[in-house]
Amino acid sequence: MSAATPSAQLTAYAPRVRVRRGISVGFMVIALLAITVSILMLGALIVEIAVDGAARLFTDGGAVSVEARDGSIVSDLPTPEGMGWLSWVLPIAILLPFVGPRVVHSVAHGVVHGVPRVAERLMGLAVVAPVAVFLHILYVRFESAYFIEYAKAVDIDGATGNVLQLFGEASGFQVVRLVIMGIGLPLALLLMGWFWSHRMRKPSLLIPAILIGAWIVYLFMDPWFLSSYPSRSPSGAGIFSAVTGTFYMMTITAAIAFPLGVGAAVYLEEYARRNWFSRMIQVNISNLAGVPSIIYGLLGLQVFVRVLEFERSVLAGACTMALLVMPIIIVSAQEALRTVPPSMREAAYAVGATRWQVVRHHVLPYAFGGMLTGNILAMSRAIGETAPLIAIGALTFIAFLADSPTDDFTVMPIQIYNWVARPQAGFHEIAASAIIVLMVILLLMNAAAIIMRQRTRTDW
């Protein structure tokens, strides 16, 4: 081939193409720490299995025995509801984002990209796998500890078990295990976070902090609070219907607002001529973003609840919320579209693409991460909105789950508002708990937005 000749001559001088990131000192330190912790964890795991027997660790956490007041051991107590499957689902859910897609990807692309990246991923797996098993164990232990307290509270055969007992005084490895769990686990979570964020362009402490924070919140949380319906008594009340109502409404809101908002942004950025009409639309959108949310509520009350006869349903709430967040979605989607450099559009036009092909194949895919980020941020605003939903008449006492979009519903802020407004102190406490749950959901959504923004960013 004639073209090969000049290339062959020049190969010796060709600029070296950087194939993969060099291993930095920081990365090596992290890797060493990670390996150390892995070994510690694995060792502790072997001890656990040797002492307690594999059967107890890898079945559900039901084998709780409680020392009764007369000194006899009461075993075979009924296990807390849902503990068996949850004790595995939770650690695996934490584990999967770290290794799942990555291992699949490395198997699929390993041939092309070479071995080192596979090794890197296997190392990640080696770190998180023991962590997941330990999460499982800890979950079982803390559930059991909680269950003992529960048994004491409801006075099952005069139960007097204590938490330390569950960590196995008899085994003699208590101190070792407590140190590992007290120091090793937070450290492991920190490393997991570092490992993960190292894959992004900017390593940050955000993810480790969120992981550890979530873990601590989880440890102190009463799981029944999440899975109970509202009740007359504060001790029996939960936010199950409020949480599900919130997610139900948010899903429909996003399904309505995201396509419409992105469509409007694409029209304004890619198609509309720059004239007085498009400028007027632009100004109006900016103004709509500043309208008080109660106004949207009144609009929703008249349009969706009364004229369209949606009644006080999830659908009416979702439509109102969609109107409320649409300006935010449009503006952020426009910003995302503007980050796609004109040279990309030109490149696509230059090979004979039509305007729609340019938008469909290039502009939209490149801007999609940014649009999704804006959507999540808009949703995190909507999730905390109360006023418009009060205006359209969302209920506060819902002791069932909505089956269809036309059912009655409640959401977390309204539930909190209702509890705070009650005179009993117990309701104030569960209101505070609900606020924490809402805050955690909000933080997670914002974190997801930040992560997504980092991961989808392209250096042009």
Partner 1 sequence: MARNFFTVMRSSAPSSTAARPSSSSRSTAPPPPNMKEAPAAGVGVHLDPSLEAVRHDLTEDIEMALELREVSAFYGTFQAVDKISLPIPKNRVTALIGPSGCGKSTLLRCLNRMNDLIPGARVEGEIRFEERNLIDPTVDAVEVRRRIGMVFQKPNPFPKSIYENVAFGARINGYSGDMDRLVEDALRRAALWDEVKDELDKSGLALSGGQQQRLCIARAIAVQPEIILMDEPASALDPVATLKIEDLMRELAEHYTIVVVTHNMQQAGRVSDYTAFLLAGEERVGRLVEFGPTQEIFTNPLDQRTEDYITGRYG
Read off the DSSP letter of residue 15: P
311-314: Cβ within 8 A, 24+ apart: 311/406, 312/392, 312/393, 312/394, 312/395, 312/408, 313/405, 313/406, 313/407, 313/408, 313/409, 314/245, 314/248, 314/249, 314/252, 314/402, 314/405, 314/406, 314/407, 314/409
Told to check if 85 binds partner 1 by CB under 8 A, we report no
Told to check if 7 binds partner 1 by CB under 8 A, we report yes
- The structure tokens listed for 288 are 């709509």
Residue 85 to residue 140: CA distance in whole angstroms: 11
Between 75 and 275, name the residue whose CB sits nearer to partner 1.
Answer: 275
Residues 6+ apart with CB under 8 A from 455: 200, 369
Contacts with partner 1 by CB under 8 A: the residue count is 36
Contacts (CB under 8 A) with partner 1, residues 111-150: 112
Least Å distance between CB 281 and partner 1? 17
Amino acid in the structure at residue 134: F
Least Å distance between CB 121 and partner 1? 18
Tell me whether residue 254 is exposed, middle or buried, using C-beta atoms within 10 angstroms of its C-beta: 0 to 12, 13 to 18, 19 or more.
Answer: buried
Told to check if 276 binds partner 1 by CB under 8 A, we report no
- Nearest Cα to Cα of residue 83 among 65, 64, 61: 61
Contacts (CB under 8 A) with partner 1, residues 8-67: 10, 13-15, 17, 19
Told to check if 361 binds partner 1 by CB under 8 A, we report yes
Residue 261 to residue 7: CA distance in whole angstroms: 49
Residue 202 to residue 455: CA distance in whole angstroms: 10
Q: Are 403 and 236 in contact (CB under 8 A)?
A: no
Least Å distance between CB 265 and partner 1? 18
Between 3 and 307, name the residue whose CB sits nearer to partner 1.
Answer: 3
Between 259 and 341, name the residue whose CB sits nearer to partner 1.
Answer: 341
Question: Contact region for partner 1 (CB under 8 A) — 131-139, 312-320, 357-365, 446-454?
Answer: 357-365
Told to check if 404 binds partner 1 by CB under 8 A, we report no
Least Å distance between CB 350 and partner 1? 4
Least Å distance between CB 180 and partner 1? 42
Least Å distance between CB 347 and partner 1? 5
Output the DSSP codes for 181-213.
IIIIHHHHHHHHHHHHHHHSSS--SHHHHHHHH
Q: Are 279 and 213 in contact (CB under 8 A)?
A: no
Question: Contact region for partner 1 (CB under 8 A) — 6-14, 59-67, 167-175, 381-389?
Answer: 6-14
Between 64 and 358, name the residue whose CB sits nearer to partner 1.
Answer: 358
Told to check if 328 binds partner 1 by CB under 8 A, we report no
Q: Would strands 66-67 and 73-74 be described as parallel, antiparallel, or unpaired?
A: antiparallel
Least Å distance between CB 6 and partner 1? 5
Of the residues 85, 220, 276, 460, which one makes contact with partner 1 according to CB under 8 A = 460
Least Å distance between CB 425 and partner 1? 57
Q: DSSP H helical segments within 1-114, as ranges?
A: 4-10, 25-52, 54-58, 83-113
Told to check if 339 binds partner 1 by CB under 8 A, we report no
Between 59 and 458, name the residue whose CB sits nearer to partner 1.
Answer: 458
Of the residues 36, 43, 92, 109, which one makes contact with partner 1 according to CB under 8 A = 109
Interacting residues toward partner 1 by CB under 8 A:
1-4, 6-7, 10, 13-15, 17, 19, 109, 112, 273-274, 341, 343-354, 357, 361-362, 366, 458-460
